Structure 1
């Protein structure tokens, strides 16, 4: 396995939901999942997220088209209240982007989980900018 394969990022099948066109895809090789959802409650135009179909595999090329400004946004870390879900979120190009991981066993510290999420966010940005 070369460096590109180790540091690259790939996704599993998309789960599609109607609420603000929510789309969720697991990140292969991790327990982290990527969620995309309309940031506005009343979209002015048809959602671009509709092109991401339930069961299809999410690709970097699709994400590039949806999130061309992702490399220039700031991410926010938080733990969902009354939950074991840790999230890193941002809004880019009218889409709320969330990286989330469950820590059901409380085996990891907040710092470790935040580091894992920020590492995946960095890998995602690099893959979108320089990937094939």
Structure 2
């Protein structure tokens, strides 16, 4: 049996842009992706605190250090600049791996700066 477990999370990110004329995805500062243990092009779940929308897409790297979070393509209809979102990535694990897993979580302030780190900070 396999378990699908949270492996990385970016909490309270603020959307900085929404661009409809794009193929689709969520553009994220790659430095923040790495801090949250989320790989470029990894499947993610995005939850919008402001409007309750949830969507599955993939993370694409934006400019390093930009603190950019941009909903692209049809996903741009699911949010607005300034909306607060949580971004989650999941991994398939054996039951043994699942019991030992401590997902890496970063919490951001209103400028998309990291204010707290939780979970496995060494992976």
Does TM, normalized by the shorter one, top 0.5?
no
Please state which structure has a larger fraction of its residues in helix: 1
What is the TM-score when the length of structure 2 is the normalising length?
A: 0.29
Q: Which has the higher strand share?
A: 2
Name the TM-score, length of structure 1 as normaliser: 0.28
